[in-house]
Amino acid sequence: MNIAPRTQPMPVFDCTQRVLRYQQVRDVTTGLCHSLTPEDMALQSMPDASPAKWHSAHSSWFFEHFLLAPYLKDYRPFDPQFNYLFNSYYYTVGGMHPRSERGLLSRPDVAEVAHYRAHVDEHMHKLLDARGREPELAYLTTLGLNHEQQHQELLLMDIKHLFARNPLQPRWRALPAPVSTSALPLKFIPCPEGLLPIGHAGSDFAFDNETPRHRVFIQAHALANRLTTNNDYLEFIRAGGYSAPALWLSDGWASVQREGWNRPLYWNQDMTAEFTLGGERELDSHAPVCHVSYYEADAFARWAGARLPTEAEWETLAADRAIEGNFMEQGRFHPLGASAVAEPPYQMYGDVWEWTMSPYTPYPGFKPLAGTLGEYNGKFMANQMVLRGGSCATPREHVRASYRNFFYPQQRWQFSGLRLAQDA
């Protein structure tokens, strides 16, 4: 089948733990849905979002289509119609239900999707027991698990957006009480110029868009020691940032006018509270600002006399830092203020995805995965911007220094924030 290109490393899949690891990731998705009602799981709040039921089914479809059907002898699909209902964007597979109409799929119901997941899991266990040592199948399983982790974060993003639109403002679950933090002075860390490597290196898993590793000349610059906070962003708003067209890119200003933006998504009108997955809570002035678009991040940076970092600048600073921070595993599901218990820079990982000024384009020599899976990342390399670092809704093991997230510049329902940069 030759799924992976020659430049993509084939990670070793621990055969003794293969079924356990598979089920651990799958169980996280199920756990995220435990507090949701069937009605919650069926609704879609906007075209960019998807129902939780759809996420649960689509991640199962991925394993069924890319692993079970081609690799497990005599496998029969749970329901052949699911190939149309739960295909996302793989046009080489066939037709698909329109993304904007996923919320109209009252059938299959939540119970049947649960049966579908159990069916796929049962057969994946058989497949991994029988053939889990095969490198190609091991790679595809690892890809499928990383794909599911992406949908875990998307599921949380979409539920938050859905609940925020409900006048009752329900909570997904009770979250831990906010951690009290103090203000950290904003400082800039000097970074010298140089010809430096970026991109994935090694034999562990990475998505194809993180490869190949290559060198980039980086001018001397400086990056902020911490993320931009709610208090920082309040100053921008009070200074008239949303009414100053000179601060905005043309498309950004058009978005402000069209959408009526005057504060981050989920802030209340008087800017004293924000909606979270645990319901509305008081705005923490020291926590990172979250749910801002690229246009808002860029305008703030201009107002602050700075700019956003390039993805190469971000990666070369983050590469030697331990991947520690406020991730999904911490169970807070909301950004926290920085704590100066370690050496700066702070919050390089977790809390919020950090917008960069880099467009999402292929690296020199990029080769997408062969066949249908080449549609996974490569075909989106236009008109989107790169974000780095992970968020409070990202599984920790899912993130690495070379990880490239990407969204359209006007989107802001993702857990997105910013870190300032300056030229030297």
Residue linked to tokens 């990880």: 403
- pLDDT in the model for residue 18: 81
- pLDDT in the model for residue 14: 54
Return d(Cα 41, Cα 36) in angstroms, integer. 6
Return d(Cα 402, Cα 351) in angstroms, integer. 17
188-423: which CATH architecture? Alpha-Beta Complex (3.90)
pLDDT digit string (tens) for 97-147?
999 999 999 999 999 999 999 999 999 999 999 998 899 999 999 999 999
Which whole number is the average pLDDT over 266-272? 97
Cα dist from 218 to 312, 314, 317, whole Å: 7, 11, 12
Residue type, 33: C
Q: How many Cβ atoms from other residues are within 10 Å of residue 358's Cβ?
A: 20
pLDDT digit string (tens) for 388-398?
999 999 999 99
Report the candidate in 316, 298, 345, 327 with the shortest Cα–Cα distance to residue 390.
327
Residue 255 pLDDT more than 60?
Answer: yes
- pLDDT in the model for residue 9: 45
Tokens of 99: 């993304």
Q: How many Cβ atoms from other residues are within 10 Å of residue 6's Cβ?
A: 7
Residue linked to tokens 């009480």: 177
| CB neighbour class for 174 (10 Å; exposed up to 12, middle 13-18, buried from 19) | exposed
pLDDT digit string (tens) for 295-345?
999 999 999 999 999 999 999 999 999 999 999 999 999 999 988 777 899
Mean pLDDT score of the chain: 94
**pLDDT class of 4 with cuts at 50, 70, 90:** very low
Return d(Cα 101, Cα 168) in angstroms, integer. 24
Tokens of 291: 């749910």
Return d(Cα 255, Cα 262) in angstroms, integer. 11
Phi, psi for residue 196 in degrees, rounded to 5? -125, 150
Task: Write down the domain spans for the chain.
Answer: 15-164, 188-423
Q: What radius of gyration do the chain's Cα atoms show?
A: 22
Q: Which residues pair with 188 in a beta bridge?
A: 224
Q: What is the largest CA-CA distance in the chain?
A: 66
Return d(Cα 241, Cα 225) in angstroms, integer. 23
15-164: which CATH architecture? Up-down Bundle (1.20)
Per the CB < 8 A criterion, the answer to whether 357 and 308 are in contact is yes
Question: Among residues of the chain, what percentage have pLDDT more than 70?
Answer: 96
Report the candidate in 329, 345, 335, 327 with the shortest Cα–Cα distance to residue 400.
327
Tokens of 245: 């067209």
Tokens of 191: 């970074």
**pLDDT class of 178 with cuts at 50, 70, 90:** confident
Question: Among residues of the chain, what percentage have pLDDT more than 90?
Answer: 87
Asked whether the bond before 70 is cis by omega within 30 degrees of 0, the reply is no
Residue ranges in 205-324 assigned as alpha helix (H):
230-238, 250-259, 294-303, 311-318
Residue ranges in 99-215 assigned as alpha helix (H):
110-131, 135-164
Which whole number is the average pLDDT over 192-208? 95
Q: How many Cβ atoms from other residues are within 10 Å of residue 208's Cβ?
A: 24
Report the candidate in 47, 331, 39, 29 with the shortest Cα–Cα distance to residue 166.
39
Within 8 A by CB and 6+ apart from 319, the residues are 401
